[in-house]
């Protein structure tokens, strides 16, 4: 994933899902993340990283991914939120809204 840094350094929020195809909680999260991506695409980009891909080993080490799924929001290269394990669609939307409000408050 050679352009990962470019993706997370944008102004728009970027949601990243670190997963593995063999991981049951990751498979459970897939329809939730698909729904989130479909409904929130104007507000955030979604990026999925398969930790089994040898090309992303550096990313796995850089972000210390030891549990999957690991979900993260980035803006301008900064990790704004991180959680491992399954979460609900509503929780993801709530986190997105809180991050947007925080950014709006900081812009004043």
pLDDT of 2 reads 72
Catalytic residue among 23, 80, 87, 93: 23
Q: Which domains does the chain have, with CATH numbers?
A: 4-107 (3.40.30.10)
Q: Is 47 a catalytic residue?
A: no
pLDDT 10s digit of each residue in the chain, 108 long? 678 999 999 999 999 999 999 999 999 999 999 999 999 999 999 999 999 999 999 999 999 999 999 999 999 999 999 999 999 999 999 999 999 998 777 654
Please give the Cα distance from 33 to 47 (Å, whole number): 10
pLDDT of 106 reads 65
pLDDT of 107 reads 55
Phi (first) and psi of residue 30, to 5 degrees: -55, -50
pLDDT of 53 reads 94
Task: Tell me the whole-structure pTM to 2 decimals.
Answer: 0.91
82 contact partners, CB below 8 Å, separation of at least 6: 70, 71, 72, 73
Catalytic residue among 13, 26, 51, 71: 26
Phi (first) and psi of residue 36, to 5 degrees: -60, -45
């Amino acid at each position: 994933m050679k352009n990962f840094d470019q993706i997370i350094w944008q102004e728009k929020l970027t949601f990243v899902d670190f997963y593995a195809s063999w991981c049951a909680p990751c498979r459970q999260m897939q329809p939730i993340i698909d729904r989130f991506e479909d409904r929130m695409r104007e507000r955030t980009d979604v990026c999925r990283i398969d930790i089994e891909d040898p090309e992303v080993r550096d990313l796995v080490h850089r972000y210390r991914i030891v549990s999957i799924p690991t979900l993260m929001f980035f803006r301008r290269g900064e990790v704004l939120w991180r959680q491992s394990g399954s979460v609900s669609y509503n929780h993801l939307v709530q986190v997105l809204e809180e991050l947007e409000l925080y950014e709006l408050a900081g812009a004043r």
